[in-house]
């Protein structure tokens, strides 16, 4: 069975400092992994996805994530936080191998950015 | 990128009435759409899988007679919350897929008073 664990429910950083949002997964298949961002009262926006190509995935707004099979991790990073990055971030695994099928969401990490 | 439009974004209704939420894939055809519910300060929970031209598949614990799903075309799925109660107040989000990834609607904030 597939599962996703986001290790931090809340992360607070200062503007201009690096961001690290941690995610570990469990999957019986070769997983497809995603990061989505949700701004307050908005829908979800895809940041980036991993589907068995390059292990370092670059997404929008300067975010990137590295798939590490040995650590079963898919942590999201950004070198320098902006105020506009304050939102909730969800790590997601596809329940069936490939981009089709259902999605399983982590519990989310709320990112706060201090001036 | 692919766009999924969800309407309305906010709705307030009286207890006992029904509310319909629409989810449209604007530039691709979606044989399958998904409906999620997000409780305050929690993650999204899958409610049901909507299949074009056939019955929806509901997750365990979701009342299919209360949350009616219709997927009449390849670009439209609707979720109707019937006889709404205050405990149905929540944020509902639909999702549709193309071959690349899942795309989400803007969500609907339902408040039942």
pLDDT, position B55? 87
**What does the block give as tokens for A54?**
């390059």
**What does the block give as tokens for B86?**
């205050």
- d(C-alpha B25, C-alpha B91), whole Å: 19
- What distance in Å separates residue A77's CA from the closest CA in chain B? 21
Burial class (CB in 10 A: 0-12, 13-18, 19+), A86: middle
**For residues B57 and B51, is the Cβ–Cβ distance under 8 A?**
yes
> Hey, CA dihedral for A84, A88, B29, B69, is it positive or negative?
negative
Q: Identify which of A42, A44, A107 has the shortest CB distance to residue B42.
A: A107
pLDDT, position A51? 79
pLDDT, position B38? 83
Using CA atoms in the order B39, B43, B48, B52, what is the torsion angle rounded to 10 degrees?
A: 120
pLDDT, position A97? 46
Q: What angle do CA B87, B91, B92 make, to 5 degrees?
A: 105
Helix (H, G, I), strand (E, B) or coil at A52: coil
Q: How many CB pairs under 8 A join A and B?
A: 48
Beta strand A56-58 with A64-68: parallel, antiparallel or unpaired? antiparallel
**What does the block give as tokens for B45?**
């929970």
**What does the block give as tokens for B16?**
């006992």
pLDDT, position B42? 66
φ, ψ of residue A60 to 5 degrees: the values are -85, 160
Separation of CA B62 from chain center? 13
- d(C-alpha B76, C-alpha A96), whole Å: 24
pLDDT, position B67? 97
Cross-chain Cβ contact A46/B43 below 8 Å: no
pLDDT digit string (tens) for chain B, length 113 residues: 568 899 998 999 999 999 999 999 988 888 888 899 987 666 778 899 888 888 898 988 999 999 999 988 889 999 999 999 999 999 999 988 766 667 888 889 999 99
Q: What angle do CA B47, B48, B54 make, to 5 degrees?
A: 165
In the block, tokens 């089709």 appear at: A100
pLDDT digit string (tens) for chain A, length 115 residues: 778 999 999 999 999 999 999 999 987 777 788 899 988 766 678 899 887 778 899 999 999 999 998 999 999 999 999 999 999 999 988 765 444 456 778 889 999 999 9
**For residues B14 and B105, is the Cβ–Cβ distance under 8 A?**
no
pLDDT, position B86? 95
Chain B environment of A99 (Cβ under 8 Å)? 97, 99-102
């Amino acid at each position: 069975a597939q599962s996703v664990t986001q290790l931090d429910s809340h992360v607070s950083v200062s503007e201009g400092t690096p961001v690290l949002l941690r995610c570990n997964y469990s999957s019986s298949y070769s997983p497809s992994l995603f990061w989505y961002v949700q701004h307050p009262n908005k829908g979800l926006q895809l940041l980036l996805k991993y589907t068995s190509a390059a292990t370092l995935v670059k997404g929008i707004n300067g975010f990137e994530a590295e798939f590490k099979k040995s650590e079963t991790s898919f942590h999201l990073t950004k070198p320098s936080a902006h105020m506009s990055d304050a939102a909730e971030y969800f790590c997601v695994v596809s329940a069936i191998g490939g981009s089709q099928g259902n999605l399983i969401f982590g519990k989310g990490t709320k990112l706060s950015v201090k001036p | 990128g692919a766009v999924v439009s969800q309407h309305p974004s906010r709705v307030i209704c009286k207890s006992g009435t029904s509310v319909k939420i629409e989810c449209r894939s604007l530039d691709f055809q979606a044989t399958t759409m998904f409906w999620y519910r997000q409780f305050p300060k929690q993650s999204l929970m899958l409610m049901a899988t909507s299949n074009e031209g056939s019955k929806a598949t509901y997750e365990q614990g979701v009342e299919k007679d209360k949350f009616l799903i219709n997927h009449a075309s390849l670009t439209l799925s609707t979720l109707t919350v019937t006889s709404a109660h205050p405990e149905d107040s929540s944020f509902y989000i639909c999702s549709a897929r193309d071959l690349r990834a899942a795309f989400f609607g803007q969500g609907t904030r339902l408040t039942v008073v």
